[in-house]
Amino acid sequence: MSEQVKLEPGRKTPAFTLPDQDGNKVSLKDYEGQWVVLYFYPKDDTPGCTTEACDFTSGLKAFEKLNATVLGASADSPDSHRKFIAKYNLKITLLSDADKAVMTKYGALGVKKMYGKEVKGVIRSTLLIDPNGKIAHAWYGVRATGHVDKVREKLAELAG
């Protein structure tokens, strides 16, 4: 299995354009001049992913006050994202990375342990992207519970 890429702070972010839950094309360049919290998660409507999405939704006002947009991405379809958003009244934008190409570029796809076996899959990851399109901070292999608070604290420290 190939080595997982990890993006380091200061590195220019790889460009991407992905469909959101409504099928609209979303590009990273659409957010030039503002902070972006880009998080990758394994699957809609699973326990950890639901916790993370709901936590980002509850904390959205605090992120917006810091001039940040929150984007979630998984390999799920736009239709799956719409159902997930409706079920939990989510207020964040979810992107569909069906072929996992963006996850691969951002280091969110790699080998992980599942039930004691090594498997290739989505590694729960969050990247904080500065207004100039560079990585400000990266978290890989995160636990969903409490993670959003850490991201917000780091953003407040860096944007402050």
Catalytic residues: 49
Half-sphere exposure of 38 (CA within 13 A, CB side): 36
**Could you give the CA distance from residue 22 to residue 112 in angstroms, rounded to a whole number?**
31
Structure-token pair, residue 60: 């959205």
